[in-house]
């Protein structure tokens, strides 16, 4: 218990979380501090390349196991199903229109790469590192939720556009972040430890620093999005805090069923509790242009992400430990 508090405190005083807080502060105080768009995108590419590659190398070293296959299945099922819960809650708790509620719900089935990355680091420091293959689970969880979101939106989706649903799915599956994550994972698997020798200073040593700079920018963006919280209403804000707990809770149940290790269980909880802010918004603008982006971006970036980064991750980890021991 005391140890968990110490870890939670270490999380809050880690450079990554503090740089996020600095970004939020600068944004709220309306400083002109800004990370150029191209640099922010470059940092995002780096993070996805590095995380995918390291995951792939880890799997190359451990081999494909049934645990991976089970965890992957669990992830896909969670991604498909969480938007159903989120949609129901949003319809009850808020007065959002159907399209916006469906689009927002899709975000909660999918995942946030940066939340996962911060969580993986926290697990490592807690001595219960998750397996490398959880990166594959992460990549697989990115897109299924989008399909559920489209179903929930009903006939309004892509309203009358001549594009078939098939084309939509193709565009969504080929989202840049999905391709880079899965591609880097595959490259890590193929080039294995020999490849790691070459890329280690790049993908491992620099990682925490790049993450800190990226989180500074995420803080700036979150602060800008905070102004959209009024549009959400109290119901919306509460949803953004409760939904990650539900996502993580359901994932814990699944992890118990599948007898995942504590680390993998916590990682699955973090994934399930996190909300997408890159792949899903892009897909929603294509498929549901009438859904209000201010709503889902505010929910995901300005409410759920900060919650997970600061409190969610230590909480999920503590729960995983309490339930699964370790």
CB of 250 to other proteins, least distance (A): 27
CB of 257 to a copy of itself, least distance (A): 35
Dihedral angle of Cα 283, 289, 295, 300, to the nearest 10 degrees: 0
Residue closer to a copy of itself (CB basis): 231 or 285: 285
Contact of 300 with 221, CB cutoff 8 Å = no
Contacts 24+ apart (CB under 8 A), 124-128: 125/7, 125/10, 126/7, 126/317, 128/261, 128/262, 128/263, 128/266, 128/317, 128/321, 128/326
Tokens 């490849």 belong to which residue?
195
Spatial separation of the C-alpha atoms in residues 244 and 305, rounded to whole Å: 9
CB of 240 to other proteins, least distance (A): 17
Spatial separation of the C-alpha atoms in residues 239 and 245, rounded to whole Å: 10
CB of 45 to other proteins, least distance (A): 11
Does position 305 bind other proteins by CB under 8 A? no
Residue closer to a copy of itself (CB basis): 15 or 159: 15
Residue closer to Na ion (CB basis): 274 or 298: 274
Residue closer to other proteins (CB basis): 121 or 292: 292
Task: Name the residues that contact a copy of itself, by CB under 8 A.
Answer: 10, 13-16, 18-19, 22, 25-26, 29-39, 41-42, 45-46, 49, 53, 171, 174-177, 179-180, 183-184, 186-187, 190-191, 194-195, 198-199, 201-203, 205-206, 208-210, 212-213, 216, 282
Residue closer to Na ion (CB basis): 68 or 275: 275
Partner from Na ion, other proteins, a copy of itself, none contacting 278, C-beta within 5 to 8 A by type: other proteins
Spatial separation of the C-alpha atoms in residues 324 and 185, rounded to whole Å: 28
Spatial separation of the C-alpha atoms in residues 117 and 58, rounded to whole Å: 15
Q: How far is CA 196 from the centre of its chain?
A: 25
Residue closer to other proteins (CB basis): 300 or 317: 300
Spatial separation of the C-alpha atoms in residues 31 and 90, rounded to whole Å: 34
Which residue in 9, 34, 64, 256 binds other proteins (CB under 8 A)? 34
Does position 284 bind other proteins by CB under 8 A? yes
Please work out the total of residues on this chain that contact other proteins, with binding judged by CB under 8 A.
27
CB-side exposure of 58: number of CA atoms within 13 Å?
A: 18
Q: Which residues of the shown chain bind other proteins in the complex (CB under 8 A)?
A: 32, 34-35, 37, 40-41, 44, 159-161, 217-218, 220-221, 224, 277-278, 281-282, 284-286, 289, 292-294, 297
């Amino acid at each position: 218990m005391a140890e968990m508090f110490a870890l939670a405190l270490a999380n809050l005083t880690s450079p990554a979380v503090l740089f996020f807080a600095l970004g939020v502060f600068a944004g709220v105080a309306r400083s002109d501090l800004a990370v150029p768009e191209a640099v922010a995108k470059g940092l995002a590419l780096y993070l996805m390349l590095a995380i995918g590659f390291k995951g792939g190398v880890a799997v190359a070293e451990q081999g494909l196991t049934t645990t991976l296959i089970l965890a992957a299945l669990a992830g896909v099922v969670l991604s498909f199903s969480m938007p159903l819960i989120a949609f129901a809650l949003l319809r009850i708790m808020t007065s959002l229109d159907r399209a916006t509620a469906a689009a927002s719900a899709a975000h909660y089935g999918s995942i946030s790469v940066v939340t996962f990355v911060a969580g993986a680091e926290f697990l490592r420091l807690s001595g219960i590192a998750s397996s490398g293959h959880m990166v594959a689970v992460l990549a697989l969880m990115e897109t299924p939720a989008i399909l559920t979101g489209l179903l929930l939106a009903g006939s309004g989706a892509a309203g009358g556009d001549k594009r078939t649903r098939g084309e939509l799915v193709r565009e969504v599956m080929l989202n840049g972040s999905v391709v880079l994550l899965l591609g880097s994972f595959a490259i890590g698997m193929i080039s294995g430890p020999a490849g790691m020798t070459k890329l280690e200073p790049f993908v491992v040593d620099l990682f925490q620093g790049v993450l800190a700079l990226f989180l500074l920018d995420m803080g700036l963006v979150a602060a800008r999005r905070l102004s959209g919280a009024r549009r959400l209403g109290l119901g919306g804000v509460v949803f953004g805090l409760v939904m990650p707990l539900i996502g993580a809770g359901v994932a814990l149940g699944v992890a118990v069923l599948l007898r995942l290790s504590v680390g993998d269980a916590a990682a699955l909880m973090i994934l399930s509790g996190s909300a997408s802010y890159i792949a899903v918004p892009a897909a929603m603008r294509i498929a549901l242009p009438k859904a209000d982006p201010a709503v889902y971006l505010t929910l995901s970036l300005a409410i759920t992400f900060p919650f997970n980064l600061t409190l969610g991750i230590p909480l999920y980890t503590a729960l995983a430990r309490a339930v699964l021991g370790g």
